[in-house]
Amino acid sequence: MASQDAAQSVARAQLVNAKRVVLKVGSQVLCQADGRVDETVLGRLCADIAALMAEGRQVVLVSSGAVAMGRGEVGQVLGAADHGLGSLGKQALAAVGQGLLMSRYRAHLSGHGIHTAQMLLTHGDLGERGRFLHARRVAAELLSAGILPVVNENDTVSVEELRFGDNDALAAQFAQAVGADVLILLTEVDGLYTANPHLDPTAQLLHSVASRDDTALARAGSGTSRFGTGGMRSKVLAARKAGEVGIVTVVAHGRREGVVARVLAGESEGTIFVPPRRRLTARRKWLTMSPRVRGTVVVDAGAAHALAVGGRSLLPVGVTQVEGRFGVGDAVRVVGPDGALLGRGLVRYASEDAREAAGLRTDEIATRLGWLPAKELVHRDDFVS
């Protein structure tokens, strides 16, 4: 218990001393039931952001709301006449609403002397190393210039991400990309409860949770809102991902006045997710958070033990099966003989060569392929469990 208290104290100190903060705001916070933006809430959020920047903190805003605002705009048109807009899907509604969303942010923030910049991303933009580095560089330039990056998922073109993704995951990935100290997820509830507070009157708000606590996922609901794609489960998963790279996450009620200031003052507001002590290298951070896996490598018991316990590299001799198509530098899952996930890593072989080399010693690989692509299939520096 003492160690947990100490870890929480360190995490709250990180909130107070945070230099770079990522704020994520959900559709249910920003928008009313009809999809129209709640100007009072939006104005308060922008004032909070201005206050943080005046303190010398750098802020990134990850904002949902494009689909909701698009639906609200179309609904107003349909109130007069249907011009074929009633059949618009989420992607088209996002295209309508994204410009409206940015215009409202610009209108409110310009009154505080703050310039905004729109960054529309997909998971693929953060999953490919080169594009990840470009996005990070652009964000760093904007932050250094005192400009607020407003980030959203590019729902209009990202079919897969729109269907399965959510901005909680994007916020966690982008927080890692920009080297944030803190991730604040603003939602329509007070935080994570011991049970669903709408169904169980005895449910208690959890003020502090370890980001790796498996029971947190069991407590989190998986339901989605009318406009949003997430739920408390997506926020717990985002907090876990952020925690793996040392980022403190807080889930708090976004409609409560002064909530952001109280969170960053280290007060007991919402639920704080305390990260583990382990810190990863920059490359391993990216590997943990971002890349989309391209295949699966199955290893034998000896290789599984070497990876899990010995911290060794994965050699081709320990591989029993290679699945999928991938190239050198792609991310793959590494699983044991029982199918249990051991981790993910960046491969030094293309999939065709990996299949040929599976189970072979180094000298045998050179004889079969006519050359040796690498001694290791996955180097230990490129592997995260």
What is the C-alpha to C-alpha distance for residues 1 and 181, in angstroms, rounded to an integer?
25
Least reliable range by pLDDT among 86-90, 171-175, 203-207, 351-355:
86-90
CATH 3.40.1160.10 is held by the domain 2-281: yes
The answer to whether the beta carbons of residues 300 and 337 sit under 8 Å apart is yes
The pLDDT of residue 222 is 54
- Between 5 and 340, residue with greater pLDDT: 340
Alpha helix (H) residue ranges in the chain: 2-17, 27-30, 39-54, 66-80, 90-110, 123-127, 129-144, 159-164, 167-177, 214-219, 232-244, 259-264, 282-289, 301-308, 351-357, 362-369
The pLDDT of residue 236 is 92
The pLDDT of residue 128 is 73
CATH of region 292-384: 2.30.130.10
Tokens of 377: 């299939």
The answer to whether the beta carbons of residues 126 and 290 sit under 8 Å apart is yes
- 378 forms beta bridges with 314
Under the banding of pLDDT at 50, 70 and 90, the label for residue 46 is very high
Under the banding of pLDDT at 50, 70 and 90, the label for residue 161 is very low
The pLDDT of residue 162 is 39
- Between 172 and 290, residue with greater pLDDT: 172
Q: Please report, for the chain, the start and end positions of each structural domain, with discontinuous segments joined by +.
A: 2-281, 292-384
The pLDDT of residue 55 is 95
What is the C-alpha to C-alpha distance for residues 122 and 169, in angstroms, rounded to an integer?
11
- 186 forms beta bridges with 25, 252
* pLDDT of 227 over the 60 cut: no
* pLDDT of 160 over the 60 cut: no
- Between 290 and 32, residue with greater pLDDT: 32
- Between 160 and 203, residue with greater pLDDT: 203
- Per-residue pLDDT tens over the stretch 89-107: 888 888 888 999 999 999 9
Residues 6+ apart with CB under 8 A from 1: none
The answer to whether the beta carbons of residues 95 and 117 sit under 8 Å apart is no
Tokens of 167: 């901005």
What is the C-alpha to C-alpha distance for residues 74 and 96, in angstroms, rounded to an integer?
8
* pLDDT of 86 over the 70 cut: no
The pLDDT of residue 175 is 93
The pLDDT of residue 33 is 78
- Per-residue pLDDT tens over the stretch 312-329: 999 999 999 999 998 888
